[in-house]
Structure 1
Amino acid sequence: MPGLATVAMGIWSGAGSRHERAEEQGLAHLLEHMAFKGTTRRNALQIAEEIEAVGGEVNAETNTEYTAYYARTLGPDMPLAVDILTDILADPAFDMTELAREKEVILQEIGSYEDTPDEVVFDMVMETAFAGAPIGRRILGTPKTVRAQNPKTMRGFMDRTYRLPSMVVSAAGAIDHDALIHEVGSRLSSFSHDQAPEPELALYTGGDSRRVKALEQAHLVFGFDAPSWRDPDHYAMHVFSNILGGGMSSRLFQEVREKRGLCYEIYSFFSPFSDSGFFAIYGGTGEMQLTDYTPLVLDTLCEATKSVTMAEVSRAKAQMKMSLLTALESPGRRAEQMARHMLAYGRVLPRDEMVSMIDAITIDDVCRVASRSLQAPPTIAAIGPIKPLMSIDAMVARLGTPVPKMN
């Protein structure tokens, strides 16, 4: 990226929470936490001191389908970033003292999470939408599964899932491509060249999950089946999500908040995965407003599936292109986008190709994809003072969707 003096680079492994076995729940996230806790060459303090001595930073994150380890440095210091990232992946120490301490940190994180209802409701909705499937499990894991992990289970998970065919080194900014290839070289050669096992399929089920709790607000998510990354319709699904709840001009924001004052926060989102996808509406409202809020949200959704306008489609497409092109101007986001493309498609999609696919979306595409989502049972997740919330049968009748099978 001409004109930049810094480099954002990272190593993405196609091993996330959905690749865990039931007894491993939270293990991918624990590995992320242990990433910078020491190798056989460096302890945790040395890792921090070395990268910060050149003004750089390192971090990691766990996703449903991948784990990323990344760094940001000045251009000339890229070799150090490569050395540290490859060291923590290829030669982690998994020191027992550090591991015990980090487990306690994660247990505190889980506890904090449980005290945040607008976070809990998202775990509830995923567990319900993909009932029994790994993709629906909580990334953080449970206290029981986190406590059960040890160096043997951690190395076993890495051996099984961290394989070169599903690992990507991505960088953007002031980089020399040949120099990067030289630096990475054989540093990752200890990882297997065999394909990692495929994760269990993400089978959408739908369902109803409610938790009455003494809170000021009810937190609600209404979710639906949606296209995967590999389905060309995912672009149209993004457009529909933007129209319905993607900004201050969206239908939900205008109808529910601006015109009626039934909530402070409401939005829709679309999360595509490699073999499935999930579209949902989140909102928070008071107990006394539930009887007005819920039918209004459901009716607004149903109406939108068959009445989007050209102006709305054009606005949503402009928002998508703005987001896409803005990301390409950030080294960190560009490196991430390239890595995600490689994991999802096996290639980096050119900017013009993505823009063309967005431009090609029509009103009919948006309505068709949105209507398709309502052909599967809905997913309801709610926490808080939710006794007045209408029944799942009443919601299904209003939406015209199939009834979810209850476990």
Structure 2
Amino acid sequence: MGVEVSRLSNGLTVATENLPHIETVALGVWVKSGSRNERDDEHGIAHLLEHMAFKGTGSRSAWDIASQIEDVGGEINAATSVETTSFYARVLRDDIPLAIDLLADILMDSRFDADELAREQHVILQEIGAAHDTPDDIVFDRFTETAFRHQTLGRSILGTPETVKSFTPKQIHDFMARQYGADRMVVVAAGAVKHDEFVREVEKRLGSFREKAPGEAPSSANYVGGDYREDRDLMDAQIVLGFEGRAYHVRDFYASQLLSMILGGGMSSRLFQEVREKRGLCYSVYAFHWGFSDTGVFGIHAATGKEDIEELVPVLLGELQKTGDFIHLDELNRARAQYRAGLMMSSESAASRASQIARQIMLFGRPVAKEELMERLAGITIERLTDLSSRLFTTKPTVAAVGPVGTLAAFEDVAGMLTAPPFTMRKLAV
């Protein structure tokens, strides 16, 4: 039957997809609010709220929440991203009412007890410390901070030790009251679920949730680019090179996804073959494209030894330039196949499918059929990709590097390598 969608009287969107031959159900509540929605004095509060979600409500203790879901063999968890927060569970079909009741209790009656808060603040401080001690984690935080300097989009989701320690139960309550409303929420279930029955259960428990979140929307993002280097005495260097990417809604979003696969989406990709296999300049290299609601970022990550940095970066930049001149049809077809296979494989997981549906509804206002995505990919031509590349890789770069990076080329030299020799300019494909 595909995805079925209903809307409750308070505006809450409820969607389900029945997946035959699956005996379990993945369900959750996705909220269109994340770290990007924080005010200047709230850095890290969205993530702290997620941590506090299972620490007790007016009728359940933290133990009650954990034991009730595990008594039936289920799982419950939460996650925070830049633009969303999710609370989700996985249970057998007969335990759907319990899972919905637990999630609704968390969303409508969390206590944010002061003692529990103090313990969880300590846990997050450890998490921040662990991230700082992990170069391949911290380099991405520094990368986004540099690409979107002095903006919430560029800030670490975890917050800082100073901000995390400062939060009170009232501040968490206030943030939730300001950001959580039925107009910003989607409830989704995938697996062994019947739509009408699921909607009735959600209506019972979340039908009275406030209709609108009064909080302001985040300010528009502005990619600025720039340079960050942290010289550490490490065995290897973590380097991320990036450019302004494309938002989910724009024409070039899916083309950017395919371009990232052609450049660094697997062992057959250009970067892996040229940089790792042929030249042995690094032990890890890949490309990525992150889309957000109003912007994006395209990047290359490489991990290498100190002695190879000087040669590595020009080779990386050269491979980026080559995509502005030529892309082979077999590369495009391979990238399409990778995208399609990834989509199909994730669709076989109830949890992944529920997350996909929720994300699509929040971004596009509706579920997007797999066939529609395939049609969009089929319409992307070599000319369109080479044109995108010639524009994408001439924007101001972002460079972030952590480790023994003393031999890394100066930022001005990196930017200069991207414009000499010039790209072959092409008319935008339509």
Query: Fold-level match, TM-score > 0.5?
Result: yes
- 1:341 maps to amino acid: Q
Does residue 69 of the first structure (1) align with residue 87 of the second (2)? yes
Does residue 193 of the first structure (1) align with residue 243 of the second (2)? no
Q: Which residue number in structure 1 is paired with residue 161 of structure 2?
A: 143
The alignment covers a number of residue pairs equal to: 401
Residues 186-208 of structure 1, C-alpha deviations (whole Å, 9 max, x = no match): 52323342564211111100000
| Partner SS for 1:349 | coil
Q: Which residue number in structure 2 is paired with residue 388 of structure 1?
A: 407
Of 137, 148, 167, 1:119 maps to 137
Cα distance in structure 1, aligned partners of 2:182 and 2:390: 39
- 2:375 maps to amino acid: S
Of 236, 261, 267, 2:286 maps to 267
Does residue 101 of the first structure (1) align with residue 119 of the second (2)? yes
Question: What does 1:6-405 align with in structure 2 at a 5 Å threshold?
Answer: 6-188=24-206, 189-194=208-213, 196-400=215-419
Cα distance in structure 1, aligned partners of 2:90 and 2:105: 16
Residues 221-270 of structure 1, C-alpha deviations (whole Å, 9 max, x = no match): 00100110011311100100000000000011011110111111110111
Q: Quote the sequence identity (%).
A: 47
Cα distance in structure 1, aligned partners of 2:402 and 2:21: 49
Cα distance in structure 2, aligned partners of 1:271 and 1:331: 23
Aligned-pair CA distance for 1:210: 0.7
Give TM-score scaled by structure 2 length: 0.92
Give TM-score scaled by structure 1 length: 0.97
| Partner SS for 2:205 | coil
Cα RMSD for the two superposed structures: 1.1
- 2:381 maps to amino acid: T
Contact 2:320–2:393 under 8 Å retained in 1: no
Contact 2:248–2:294 under 8 Å retained in 1: yes
Cα distance in structure 2, aligned partners of 1:283 and 1:293: 9
Cα distance in structure 2, aligned partners of 1:317 and 1:171: 28
Contact 1:90–1:187 under 8 Å retained in 2: no
Structure 2: runs of 5 or more not aligned: 1-18, 421-430
Cα distance in structure 1, aligned partners of 2:39 and 2:49: 15
Structure 1: runs of 5 or more not aligned: 402-407
Aligned-pair CA distance for 1:31: 0.6
| Partner SS for 1:307 | coil
Contact 1:17–1:26 under 8 Å retained in 2: yes
- 1:391 maps to amino acid: A
- 1:13 maps to amino acid: V
- 2:97 maps to amino acid: P
| Partner SS for 1:187 | helix
Aligned-pair CA distance for 1:371: 2.2
Contact 1:226–1:272 under 8 Å retained in 2: yes
Q: Which residue number in structure 1 is paired with residue 22 of structure 2?
A: 4
Residues 11-62 of structure 1, C-alpha deviations (whole Å, 9 max, x = no match): 0001111111121011110011111111111111111110011110001111
